[in-house]
Amino acid sequence: MAKPVLLVVMDGIGFSKTGLGDAVTEANTPTLDWMMQNCPMTRLKAHGGAVGLPSDDDMGNSEVGHNALGCGQIYSQGAKLVNESIESGKMYDSSAWQELAKNAKDKNSTMHFIGLLSDGNVHSNISHLINMVKRAKADGVSKVRVHALLDGRDVPPLTGGQYIKQLEDVFAELNDASFDGRIASGGGRMKITMDRYQADWPMVEAGWKTHVKGEGRQFASAIEAFDTLVAETGVTSDQDLPAFVIAENGEPVGKIVDGDSVILFNFRGDRAIEMSMAFDMDEFTAFDRGAKPDVCYAGMLQYDGDLKLPARYLVNPPEITNTLSEVFVNAGMKQYAISETQKYGHVTYFWNGNKSGKFSEELEEYVEIPSDNVSFDQRPWMKSAEIVDALIETIKGGKYDFIRCNFPNGDMVGHTGSMAATIIGVESVDIGLARLKEVCDEYGVTMLITADHGNADEMLEKNKKGEVNVRTAHSLNPVPFIIYDKDVKYTIKDGEYGLANVAPTVVKMFGLEAPACWEESMI
């Protein structure tokens, strides 16, 4: 009988290449250090082509990372998926685009675009927006309004003005007697609209009031709003800017009203689901929407396949099949998945190939520990202790063959830009590893330690002038893969591996046959 396996995902903890702002190395991590020195270990590629993104200049993220970890394969993802759809023309041939464009043209109404205005390639890419705006004009749409969420997280902080100018320049070229394109509203991504896992509905409500109702502080232009709010608030990242509304003569230039078409152009699903619920669901109680406008709404992708949300979408998501969870269910093996709210969807929905349901109610158990609704730099330990408490009881129970968990600290605290807090976050994960190591020894469990991408390993960066700035985005660095087992000696084969090689390795440990479409095992 194969030993149970515990897979620990240390979210956002990688290997620094520069040593600049390396909170992982700065942290006191005796357990992780010991494992790296004494256990079989390799470094996994967790970005670019290894997780289905367009190029190795593209940062990995938790969503595509957990897709790859959970399915043992590499699928076209995110920006690459949308790029392919635009290049092939499939996006504009889709029934959703055809319906939205026809609706705006026939009713002489407005086509609205809501989304993250950056080229970070994690949630969105401004090039996709610009392409759609140009196509809208070509298809006879006469009025376009953009509701721009500002980034400073997947791109350098306080670069929002550059993206605003880029879009305004496009409008300046396109606008004529037949076409009127403008930015209508905006705000920082961590202030409005882009909540996830229903952790902070007031964020979404604030976005609804800003984008849909046109309620909020008014400015003559988006660049005026950006410059003024940065100066007044002193924020160090665009993501924290307050909401704003563009107005003329006291009237918002882009309310969303009956008859309009609306596209949420983010391709990543976790922070697009809640606004999609507000637009698409008739029975909705998260906040008072007021008189919900009767619009034609679509997402860039369908963000939740089980909930069919949204009903209309421009690009078909990757059809991920033959996941690790399916292999285990088909073998009659029991699985347990746990994290706190911030990463719960990653060990369930994303792990299972963008499917929110279980493959087997009898063989799978999912546990969500509610995250604290505070800035993570104020509580950098997050729920690591509670996750470990639950894991220890689960391991002692001896019920499950495969157990997986995610510690969000390295990623979520890393995104705050606080080096001191992130060091504490990494140390909290190491304390958890020490406790898990002890229980794995006692109950005969093999523990695998990895990460989905880097972040805490690169908290600072140099700009083109050689100045050192705070970095809040993911890194392009490799991540660890460690096998800890006090009884069984494993050997990792020589080779270059990525996150998709983890699932085949786990299956081989259990003596199961991996699907032919999977990557190779590392042992």
Q: Tell me which DSSP letter residue 51 carries.
A: G
Q: Provide the pairing of β-strand 335-340 with 402-407.
A: parallel
Among candidate residues 16, 62, 237, 325, the one labeled active-site is 62
Q: Which residues partner with 244 through β-bridges?
A: 186
- Specify the 3-state DSSP secondary structure of 506: helix
Strand partners, 41: 482
Residue 333's alpha-carbon distances to 301, 365, 400, in angstroms, are 32, 12, 8
Residues 487/492/498/500 CA torsion (nearest 10 deg): -60
- Which residues, at least 6 apart from 367, have a Cβ–Cβ distance to it below 8 Å? 336, 337, 338, 390
Half-sphere exposure of 219 (CA within 13 A, CB side): 19
Q: What are phi and psi of 263, to 5 degrees?
A: -125, 125
Residue 42 near residue 522, CB atoms below 8 Å: yes
Residue 52's SS3 state is: coil
Given a contact cutoff of 8 angstroms between Cβ atoms, the answer to whether 174 and 134 are in contact is: yes
How many residues in the chain?
523
Among all chains, which residue has been given the structure tokens 């010991």?
Answer: 34
Of 165, 204, 168, 217, residue with least CA distance to 284: 204
331 torsion bin: left (phi>0), alpha (psi -120 to 50), beta (else): alpha
DSSP lists the bridge partners of residue 468 as 462
CB 316 within 8 A of CB 91: no
Sequence letter at residue 421: A
User: How far is 198 from 175, CA to CA, in rounded Å?
Assistant: 38
Please report how many Cα atoms fall inside a 13 Å half-sphere around the Cα of residue 483, on the Cβ side.
18
**76 carries an active-site annotation:** no
Q: Are 365 and 400 in contact (CB under 8 A)?
A: yes
Burial track 256-273 (b if 16+ CB lie within 10 A, e otherwise): bbebbbbbbbbbbbbbbb
Phi and psi at 250, nearest 5°, equal 80, 0
Cα radius of gyration rounded to whole Å, the chain = 23
Instruction: Give the largest CA-CA distance in the chain.
Output: 76
* CA distances to 182, 280, 293 from 218, in Å: 15, 28, 22
Closest C-alpha to 44, from 23, 70, 15:
15
Catalytic residue annotation: 62
